[in-house]
Homo-oligomer: A and B are copies of this chain.
């Protein structure tokens, strides 16, 4: 089964919007075992959309069109699809009623216009994917033994309809009895080649293959670290999960310390869980990260239960006056440890975490760009610090320092365990 993705919108061609929908759809197709050999972008022009759809239908069994379903005169996807199918558009009463309801529930300051009604037009022979989040429905449009799907360009509407209707329909057409599931182990603190070396034995086993054996892929993800993605095809959900559980256990035996989370887990979310388990709370003191650590932490829902706050000590005077850092070099283990202890005391927290270092553009105190020191102050032991050397320019050093500092904290909390 091959599917082409067609993204419609002049704004994509002009570079006003980057087409992230196609990448997302491509990933979902790959995980469903459906090939995607081509992706095309075309502007808001009926003749050109028709051309692109015809080419796509010729070289694939399925075409997923995104965008161009809105209420304006630039929204031409419905019209183009009807032309390719060789059928007229019909106004669907049920879809129209849903659009009306949506306007009523939004309140009186938005009135429905004739333009909005065109969103209820459906090519004859097509079926509708109900709109639950926006006003435009999706469409499933059979053409002989092939199919075109139309989805809104708004990402969260598209994601919903893709998962709810398009992927199940595609899998049905592909006659897939098997399920395909994947799991991503997220790592930090080890290079791609280092990681590959550590798991070389498992990669060999997995590459030998066999029924129910997962495949493995390394995804270098910049400031999100390196991800290991396991994908398995199995008879059912249960069998797939068992195979993934078994392989995850094998991998964790080799690289457990580097794995900070699974799938959608974030470093800060994991840290939150560790703090809640211990009944502790956190205060931070940031120099080169300048608030990035704090801002990622407050992005975790419920962070107020374990996060007290932070001090952004950008100026040396602030480090001394508020955090009690002694006179001397500020890019040092001593200063980082003092900052962490200062944050702990000033913010009334159980644990203090600090960052200091050289983000650039020039070196500082004779220390090169990329020097980062992470300080930790924990109950029952003297504050200390770890020195790291991170690559990249100013912005990248700061981003890497942010997640590195959180990783230092995560590993220390795990070392201490729950008995502290």
* Interface pair A37/B26, CB less than 8 Å apart: no
Residue from B41, B45, B59, B304 in contact with A39 in the complex, judged by beta carbons closer than 8 Å: B41
* Interface pair B308/A309, CB less than 8 Å apart: no
Residue from B30, B304, B321, B395 in contact with A314 in the complex, judged by beta carbons closer than 8 Å: B304
Q: Most chain-B CB neighbours within 10 Å: which of A26, A292, A301, A394?
A: A26
Against B, the Cβ 8 Å flags (1 = close, 0 = not) of A42-74 are 110100100110010001000000000000000
Residue from B15, B38, B42, B298 in contact with A41 in the complex, judged by beta carbons closer than 8 Å: B38
Against B, the Cβ 8 Å flags (1 = close, 0 = not) of A4-21 are 000000001111111110
Tell whether A16 pairs with B219 under 8 Å between CB atoms, given A308-B318, A313-B309.
Answer: yes
Copy total for this chain:
2
Say yes or no for A40: interface residue by CB 8 A criterion: yes
Closest to A20 in B: B18
A346: chain B residues at CB < 8 Å are: 322
Say yes or no for A23: interface residue by CB 8 A criterion: yes
Measured CB to CB, the closest approach of chain B to A284, in angstroms, equals 8
Residue from B19, B26, B294, B348 in contact with A23 in the complex, judged by beta carbons closer than 8 Å: B19
* Interface pair A14/B30, CB less than 8 Å apart: yes
Complex: how many Å from CA A51 to CA B38?
11
Measured CB to CB, the closest approach of chain B to A97, in angstroms, equals 27
Say yes or no for A310: interface residue by CB 8 A criterion: yes
Complex: how many Å from CA A301 to CA B394?
9
Residue from B40, B41, B298, B309 in contact with A318 in the complex, judged by beta carbons closer than 8 Å: B309
Say yes or no for A317: interface residue by CB 8 A criterion: yes
A348: chain B residues at CB < 8 Å are: 317-318, 321
* Interface pair B12/A39, CB less than 8 Å apart: yes
* Number of residues from A at the complex interface, CB < 8 A: 68
A292: chain B residues at CB < 8 Å are: 291, 295
Measured CB to CB, the closest approach of chain B to A64, in angstroms, equals 13
Residue from B13, B41, B290, B394 in contact with A295 in the complex, judged by beta carbons closer than 8 Å: B290
Say yes or no for A307: interface residue by CB 8 A criterion: yes
A27: chain B residues at CB < 8 Å are: 14-16
Against B, the Cβ 8 Å flags (1 = close, 0 = not) of A83-109 are 000000000000000000000000000
Residue from B18, B41, B288, B322 in contact with A18 in the complex, judged by beta carbons closer than 8 Å: B18
Q: Most chain-B CB neighbours within 10 Å: which of A13, A309, A317?
A: A309
- 8 A Cβ contacts from A373-418 to B: 394-395, 398
State the 8 A-B residue pairs at the shortest beta-carbon distance, nearest first: A291-B291, A15-B27, A290-B298, A291-B294, A310-B312, A291-B295, A15-B26, A15-B23
Q: Can you name 14 extra interface pairs (CB under 8 A) apart from A37-B45, A295-B398? A: A12-B26, A13-B26, A13-B37, A15-B28, A37-B43, A38-B42, A286-B291, A286-B294, A291-B291, A294-B312, A309-B314, A310-B314, A311-B312, A321-B348
